[in-house]
């Protein structure tokens, strides 16, 4: 007999295998639904400043102060993070970048519990200032 509790448990345990952050390889693509997420910081003049504080306290250790992937912890990573200023990253929508920061993958942790929704959007605005050719 399959009880409701067993079904719930099987869903809970199947999840890491279905979408395990540490088992993902290859290109990291956000779902298209992320592109239309609503940005609460869209017209906030303090977004970049707020995002800079987040980046220079939590993200630079791996991504480096300029976001090029040369932070002090970068060489210890199995997969070196991409240069966040590159067109391949900058061409992604704000929502896609927000989604990646929220979800995390492999050695990049999920920031869902660490940062407020506003702070996660704010850091996306800051990432735009790192853009280069
Ligand atoms: C422990 C090291 C580490 C820290 C800290 C970290 N990241 Fe990452 N980040 C990574 C790695 C490694 C990847 C590549 C993950 C992959 O492709 O599987 C990555 C990928 C990304 C990407 C996706 C880039 C792409 O190729 O599309 C974004 C955006 C990003 N990080 C932003 C941030 C922000 C913002 C913070 C701070 C809130 C942060 N990261 C903190 C290691 C880190």
pLDDT digits (tens, 9 = 90+) for 50-93: 999 999 999 999 999 999 999 999 999 999 899 999 999 999 99
Substitution candidate for ligand 1 out of 47, 62, 73, 98 with most atoms within 8 A of CB: 62
Q: The tokens of 78 are what?
A: 């199995």
Global pTM exceeds 0.85: yes
Q: What is the pLDDT of residue 6?
A: 53
Candidates 25, 35, 81, 86: which one to mutate for ligand 1, based on the most atoms within 8 Å of Cβ? 81
Per-residue model confidence as pLDDT tens digits over 18-53: 444 545 678 899 999 999 999 999 999 999 999 999
Any atom of ligand 1 within 6 Å of the Cβ of 62: yes
Dist. CA 127–CA 43, nearest whole Å: 16
Question: Based on the number of CB atoms within 10 Å of its own CB, is 69 exposed (0-12), middle (13-18) or buried (19 or more)?
Answer: middle
Q: Write the burial class of residue 62 (CB in 10 Å: 0-12 exposed, 13-18 middle, 19+ buried).
A: buried
What residue spans define the domains of the chain?
Answer: 34-128
Give the pLDDT mean for 96-117. Answer: 97
Question: CATH number of 34-128: 1.10.645.10, 2.40.30.10, 1.10.760.10, 3.40.225.10?
Answer: 1.10.760.10
């Amino acid at each position: 007999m399959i009880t409701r509790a067993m079904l719930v448990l099987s869903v809970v345990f199947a999840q890491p295998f279905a979408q395990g952050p540490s088992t993902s390889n290859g290109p990291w693509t956000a779902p298209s639904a992320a592109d239309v997420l609503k940005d609460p910081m869209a017209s906030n003049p303090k977004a970049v400043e707020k995002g800079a504080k987040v980046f220079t306290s939590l993200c630079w250790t791996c991504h480096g102060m300029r976001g090029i992937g040369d932070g002090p912890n970068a060489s210890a990573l199995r997969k070196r993070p991409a240069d966040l200023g590159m067109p391949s990253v900058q061409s992604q929508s704000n929502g896609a970048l927000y989604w990646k920061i929220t979800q995390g993958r492999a050695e990049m942790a999920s920031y869902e519990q660490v940062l407020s929704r506003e702070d996660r959007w704010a850091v996306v605005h800051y990432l735009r200032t790192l853009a280069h050719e």
